[in-house]
Structure 1
Amino acid sequence: MSRVSLDGQVAVVTGAARGVGELLARKLSARGASVALVGLEPDALKQVSERLHGDSDHWYADVTDHEAMARVAQEVKERFGKVDIVVANAGVATGGPFVDSDPQAWRRVIEVNLIGSAVTARAFLPVLVESRGYLLQIASLAAITPAPMMTAYCASKSGVEAYAHSLRAEVGHQGVRVGVGYLSWTDTDMVRGADQDDVMRELRQRLPWPSNKTYPLGPAVERIVAGIERRSSHVYGQWWLRGMQGVRGYLPGIIGTVGQREMRRFAGRLDGMRTGLVGAGGSADERERAARAGGTTSRN
C-alpha cells in the first residue's frame, strides 16, 4: 500500500512517557502529525509533549480504566477535531518462574497489555470510524514464540495479536485498518529492567541468533512509523521477524524441548528472583496502584 502523509494527521500514543512510545511520538510529530500522549506519568508526559515539534497535548489515564479512556477519547476529539491514528503501545512485563510469580504482578501484565489494549480500541474506535483511520496494536516476538520465565508477557502479547487480527476483520468494512506491530528485544527501560536479573539476562543471551541481541530503539521505531504511513497489517521492528511467521508453528515444540534443558541448567539459581514488574514503566504502574490503594493517585 502507498504511504499516507502524516502531515495534518492526529495520532494517539499510549505508554508515551518513555521508550517506544516517546520516540514514536517524536517521530510522528516530526512528520507533521499532532500527537496526543496518554499514560500514567503526567510530569514525564508533559516533558515529552513540550519537546515535540508541532501541536501536542497529554492525558493522564490508566489504559485499563474504560471510563477514563472514554473521557480521554472524547477530550482528544474535542482538542484536535479528529483522530486518525491510535497506537496501543502501553505495556508492562514481569519475569521468573510461574509457580513463584507474584499473582498481582502476573495479573497486571495481562490487564495492561491485553485488556488495556482492548479498552483503548473500544474508546477510540468510534472516532477512527469517522476518520477511516488506523489502529496499530504493539505486540512482540513473544506473540510468535513462547518463552520460559515469561508466561504472563507471552500470554498477553499472544492475546493482543489474536484480538487485533479478529478486530481487523470486524472493522475493515467501515474503513478502519488494523495493524499488529512486532518487536524483538529493543533497548528500552523494560528490557534493561529485565536484564537486571542475572538469570533472565543469561537466559536471553543463550537464545539463538538473532533473537539473543538487544536492538537499538531508533531503527525499530522508524520501521513502525513506516508501517503507520502504509497503514500496514503487519509491522516488523526488526528485519528478521517477518521470517519468523513462516516457522512459528514449529516453535512451541522446539522451545518445549530446549527450554527444559535450559531450566535444568538454571534450576539452582531461581530462588529469590524478583517477581514484580520490571523497568521504569513497571515501577510507575506499581506506584500508581499503591497510591490508589492509599486513596490517592500519583497525579496528586
Structure 2
Amino acid sequence: MREALAREGPLAGRVAVVTGAARGVGEALARRLSEDGMRLALLGREAATLRRAAASLAGPALCVEADVTDQAALDRAARQVEERLGPASVVVANAGIAAAGPFRHTEADLWRRVIDVNLVGSANTARAFLPQLTRSRGYFLQIASTAAFGSAPLMSAYCASKAGAESFAQALRGEVEPVGVAVGIAYLHWTGTDMVTGIDQHPVLVALRRHQPWFARRVHSPAEVADRLAAGITHRAPYVYAPPWLRWCLPLRPLFPALVSRVARRELGERSADERAADAGVLGAGGRADWEAYVTATRAHPRPGPGSP
C-alpha cells in the first residue's frame, strides 16, 4: 500500500539532492524520500559509504563524491544530476561537521573548516542548484540546529555555523520566493548520529542535557528525524521542527543564551584548563573523515603564506 501511495504522491518521480548523504540524517532522509518515489542524488565525501547508502534505496540513485566547500565540484555535481536524473526539485543542505573544545585550543584550520562546511557549504550548494530549482519551482531545505538557539561554550564553531546557516536561509528565502522557490529551515535537537556518540564525555553538553525537561533529553533516531523532514518537504514548509515540540520553544528563545551561559559557567568552573583542552577534537566518524581528507589535501597542496608570489 505504501509503495502504491509513494508512486502517486506529490514527490513521486521528482529529483531530490541530499548533501552529507553518506550516513546519519542524510542517509536516512535519502532512504525516506526514495520510498516516497523520488529519484535521489547522494552527495558526500566518502565514495564507498555513499555507494552503500545508495544500494539501500528503493529507487534510482546517483552518487557524486563532492566537497561542499568546493564550488567547482558542486557545479559539476549539479550538471551530473541534471544530465542523469533531471533537474532537481528538492535540495537539502545537510552536510555538516562539528568540533568540540576550547576556542583557544582548537586549531584555526579546524575551526574554519567547520564554518566552511556548515555555512559556506550550504551557500555553495544553493548557488550550484538554484538554476534548477528556479526552473522546477522547487524547494531548498537548510538543516539547522537548536545550537542556533543558544550557543554552547566549547562548541563555538558549530554554534556559529548553524546560526549563520539559519540566517543565510532566511535571507535567501526573501530573494527566491518571487521566482517560485521555497526555502525551509529544519531545526534538529538531540539526534542519534555518530556526531553525538561522545556526548557523555562533553561536560557542557552533558550539563545542558541534564538541565532540560525529561522529554527534551531524548535522543531521536535518524529515521524519526527523516520522517519529519520528509513531511516538511512534501508541504514545502518554511520551518521544520524535529522533534515537533521545538516550535513551542520559539517564544523562549531570547532566554536561551543566558540559561546556557549560567549552566556552562558552573560546569566549566569545576574543570581545569587542561581538562577542557583535552576535550578538543572533531566529533563523529563523518567529521573525522572530512577532516582527514582536508588535511591530506592541504598538505599535498599547501596554501601560499604571506608574501608568497
> TM bucket by the smaller chain?
over 0.9
Report the counterpart of residue 38 of structure 1 in structure 2.
Answer: 43
Of 294, 302, 307 in structure 2, the residue corresponding to residue 289 of structure 1 is 294
TM-score of the two chains, using structure 2 as the length reference: 0.90
1:207 matched to 2:211? The reply is: yes
Instruction: Find the aligned partners of 1:56 and 1:11 in 2 and give their Cα distance.
Output: 10
TM-score of the two chains, using structure 1 as the length reference: 0.92
Q: What is the CA distance between 1:63 and its match in structure 2?
A: 0.2
Report the counterpart of residue 239 of structure 2 in structure 1.
Answer: 234
1:90 matched to 2:95? The reply is: yes
1:48 matched to 2:53? The reply is: yes
Alignment-mate amino acid for residue 63 of structure 1: V
1:170-249, aligned counterparts within 5 Å?
Answer: 170-192=175-197, 194-195=198-199, 197=201, 199=203, 202-209=206-213, 210-249=215-254
Report the counterpart of residue 19 of structure 2 in structure 1.
Answer: 14
Alignment-mate amino acid for residue 223 of structure 1: R
Alignment-mate amino acid for residue 280 of structure 1: A
Q: What is the CA distance between 1:58 and its match in structure 2?
A: 0.5
Report the counterpart of residue 265 of structure 2 in structure 1.
Answer: 260
1:119 matched to 2:96? The reply is: no
Q: What is the CA distance between 1:250 and its match in structure 2?
A: 1.7
Instruction: Find the aligned partners of 1:105 and 1:211 in 2 and give their Cα distance.
Output: 30
Instruction: Find the aligned partners of 1:245 and 1:228 in 2 and give their Cα distance.
Output: 21
Instruction: Find the aligned partners of 1:207 and 1:86 in 2 and give their Cα distance.
Output: 35
Report the counterpart of residue 114 of structure 2 in structure 1.
Answer: 109
Instruction: Find the aligned partners of 1:274 and 1:257 in 2 and give their Cα distance.
Output: 20
Q: What is the CA distance between 1:41 and its match in structure 2?
A: 0.5
**SS of the counterpart of 1:245?**
helix
Contact in 2 for aligned 1:66/1:123 (Cα 8 Å): yes
Q: What is the CA distance between 1:199 and its match in structure 2?
A: 2.9
Q: What is the CA distance between 1:272 and its match in structure 2?
A: 4.3
Report the counterpart of residue 160 of structure 2 in structure 1.
Answer: 155
Alignment-mate amino acid for residue 169 of structure 1: G
**SS of the counterpart of 1:104?**
helix
Contact in 1 for aligned 2:102/2:277 (Cα 8 Å): no
Instruction: Find the aligned partners of 2:205 and 2:150 in 1 and give their Cα distance.
Output: 18
Of 64, 71, 77 in structure 1, the residue corresponding to residue 82 of structure 2 is 77
RMSD over equivalenced CA pairs, Å: 1.9
Q: What is the CA distance between 1:49 and its match in structure 2?
A: 1.1
- Which segment drifts farther, 27-36 or 276-285? 276-285
Residues 104-136 of structure 1, C-alpha deviation per residue, up to 9 Å, x if partnerless?
A: 211111000000000000000010000000000
Residues 18-48 of structure 1, C-alpha deviation per residue, up to 9 Å, x if partnerless?
A: 0000010000001100000000001111111
Report the counterpart of residue 151 of structure 2 in structure 1.
Answer: 146
Residues 205-260 of structure 1, C-alpha deviation per residue, up to 9 Å, x if partnerless?
A: 42312443322222211111100000000001112211121111122222233322
Alignment-mate amino acid for residue 162 of structure 2: K
Displaced runs of 4 or more, over 6 A: none
Contact in 2 for aligned 1:13/1:87 (Cα 8 Å): yes
Q: What is the CA distance between 1:79 and its match in structure 2?
A: 0.8
Q: What is the CA distance between 1:265 and its match in structure 2?
A: 2.6
Alignment-mate amino acid for residue 208 of structure 1: Q
- Which segment drifts farther, 116-125 or 4-13? 4-13
- Cα distance change of structure 1 residues 144 and 198 upon mapping to structure 2, 3 Å threshold: closer
Instruction: Find the aligned partners of 1:127 and 1:66 in 2 and give their Cα distance.
Output: 16
**SS of the counterpart of 1:232?**
coil
